[in-house]
Amino acid sequence: MNECIFCRIVRGEAPARIVYQDEAVTAFHDLNPQAPVHVLIVPNRHISGVAQVEPEDEPMLGRLFTVARRVAEEMGVDRGYRLVVNNGRPAGQSVFHLHLHLLGGRPFQWPPG
Ligand code: AMP
């Protein structure tokens, strides 16, 4: 998946404001932020979306959440933040590399649009 933009960011081949990286996941600021804090947390290995996750991905999927907690604390939004995963084009997915949106720093409405 050489052409995948998130794979290129993970490998350091495309520019991004990376806030965290380990052997399993990478977190970086969204290019088009929808909140004062908008960070994307992605697996380093290419997985297109939730529809492609397998039982062996469970450790990595857990890591996405522990890193979300860590980034939310570091960015001072841990009082309240939203985690979003869009899966499939009708749900708003536009980059087909699994990612958790971490949004914070403003109030959020429910139901979402
Ligand atoms: P989704 O619509 O859920 O697939 O989310 C994709 C997100 O990736 C959007 O919020 C985009 O703004 C963001 N995005 C796309 N390209 C880049 C990039 N090169 N660097 C950072 N964020 C990006």
Query: Which CATH code fits 5-104?
Result: 3.30.428.10
pLDDT exceeds cutoff 90 at 110: yes
Q: Cα of 55 to ligand 1 centre, how many Å?
A: 26
Nearest to 75 by CA among 26, 28, 23: 28
Q: Is 30 in the pocket of ligand 1 (CB under 6 A)?
A: yes
**48 with 97: CB under 8 angstroms?**
yes
Q: Is 26 in the pocket of ligand 1 (CB under 6 A)?
A: no
Residue 84 pLDDT level (bands cut at 50, 70, 90): very high
Q: Is 86 in the pocket of ligand 1 (CB under 6 A)?
A: yes
Look up the pTM and report it.
Answer: 0.98
pLDDT exceeds cutoff 70 at 2: no
For the chain, domain boundaries: 5-104
Q: Which residue has the least CA distance to atom 12 on ligand 1?
A: 32
pLDDT in tens, 5-56: 999 999 999 999 999 999 999 999 999 999 999 999 999 999 999 999 999 9
Angle value at C-alpha 69, between 67 and 73, nearest 5 degrees: 115
d(CA 100, CA 105): 17
